[in-house]
Amino acid sequence: MKIRLSFAFSVLFLLNHSSFAAVYNLPEKRGDSVVAEYPNEITVTRAEKNETLLDVARQFSLGQVEIIRLNQELDRWLIKKNQIVTLPNKRILPDSPHSGITLNIAEYRMYYYPENGAKVYSFAHGVGRQDWKTPLGKTSIQKKVKDPVWRPPESIRREHAANGDPLPEVVPAGIHNPLGAYALYLNLPGDYRIHGTDIDKIYGIGMQITHGCVRMYPEDIDQLYHLVDEGTPVYIVKQPIKVGWLDNILYVESHPDLEGEETTLDQRLASTLALIQKANNYELPEFDQAALKDALEKQNGNPTAIYERVISPEEAAKEALALREPEITKIAPPPIKAISNVANTTTKTPKFVKIPKAMATKKPAISTKAKAIKAVSTKTKTVKPVVKPPPKPDVKPPVSSGYHRP
């Protein structure tokens, strides 16, 4: 199936981009969760000089893993002048409340939703190493500190001493302080923070490199520090696979496993099918299996269109009317339901096979626009929606204790 070829080869060249966070308009249609920074399907930049892929990542506030996965054919240590580098454009918002900050450690990115706003800010960040994991769950910003002083715990001092890099008992504020110029302390045992970085570790953003804290580019933490207040809720999740709608197109976004974790293709498929059903009123549509398999194999973090929902003219008119109607009742978002979207795969997982007609959602004859997404029969059939009970909420995992280095 060929998906929107008119857009697939259009590009937008970006030069001299500021290194501040990406800012997206939230989707107008309720239920949509895919955002885009630029109108083009693909965004690229042209190197103005010989540099590394990490230099390009810094210019566009991207993490190291993120830009490498999008440009797997390029040499990360040598990007020649005038060479084209692909940049991210669309993103699927994590499955979490659109309030405060969400840290999705699986994609090394955070999302900040301003109060009563129509935008979302997205920043790259580093997370805890395999042996110093960043905790998951809901918390909040306990306090904000400018020019923080770092007192490394004894465990960190022993580790550095063993590596021939002894640390003092107190590291004063300055360019060599690992906390950077700003720190947001989280309301968790163990002194976890969202903070900046020192000049020696500037290229570690977007990697598993910390002792549990969340590390950001200096200019990004500066911006976030002045956007949020004490008490802002923080949701820390691990969602390597995300599914979301935009204008009746269903997208899937897949990221690699964190260090120390390994899932098979079949396990990722099982997890993704459950997410697709959840996003489609608990019915499995006749999606593009080849596109889904490609996304789950490449794991480049780029949202991939796998299905287009065809709606009647009456439904389209109803959606257009809903966009014009102001939202009157504000309902508080429910608690975060899931910390990870990786399914329990102790049982046998499905393979990539043709979906039986009995379990697939039948669609009416599709329009010319839809033919670019999926060729289906011109026969129509009404399928009664299957009502299923909502999934049981996951149990919030315990938070590890003890002091951790930023």
Delimit the domains of the chain by residue range.
Answer: 5-237, 241-371
> Mean pLDDT highest for which of 130-134, 196-200, 351-355, 378-382?
196-200
Q: What is the CATH number of domain 5-237?
A: 2.40.440.10
- Between residues 142 and 154, the one the model is more confident about: 142
User: What digits encode the pLDDT tens for the residues 267-306?
Assistant: 999 999 999 999 999 999 999 999 999 999 999 999 999 9
Report the percentage of the chain scoring pLDDT > 90.
39
The stretch 175-189 carries a mean pLDDT of: 85
pLDDT tens digits for range 208-237: 565 557 888 989 999 999 999 999 999 999
Mean pLDDT across 176-190 = 85
At residue 375 the predicted structure's pLDDT band, cuts being 50, 70 and 90, is very low
- 350-364 pLDDT per residue, tens: 445 454 444 444 443
Does position 340 have pLDDT exceeding 80, yes or no?
no
- SS3 assignment for the chain: CCCCHHHHCCEEECCCCCCCCEEEECCCCCCCCEEECCCCCEEEEECCCCECHHHHHHHCCCCHHHHHHHCCCCCCCCECCCCEEEECCEEECCCCCCCEEEEECCCCEEEEECCCCCEEEEEECEEECCCCCCCCEEEEEEEEEECCCECCCHHHHHHHHHCCCCCCCCECCCCCCCCCCEEEEECCCCCCEEECCCHHHHHHCCCEEECCCEECCHHHHHHHHHHCCCCCEEEEEECCEEEEEECCEEEEEECCCCCCCCCCHHHHHHHHHHHHHHHCCCCEECCCHHHHHHHHHHCCCCCEEEEECCCCHHHHHHHHHHHHCCCCCCCCCCCCCCCECCCCCCCCCCCCCCCCHHHEECCCCCCHHHHCCCCCCCCCCCCCCCCCCCCCCCCCCCCCCCCCCC
Q: Predicted confidence band at 20 (pLDDT cuts at 50, 70, 90)?
A: low
**What average pLDDT does the chain have?**
75
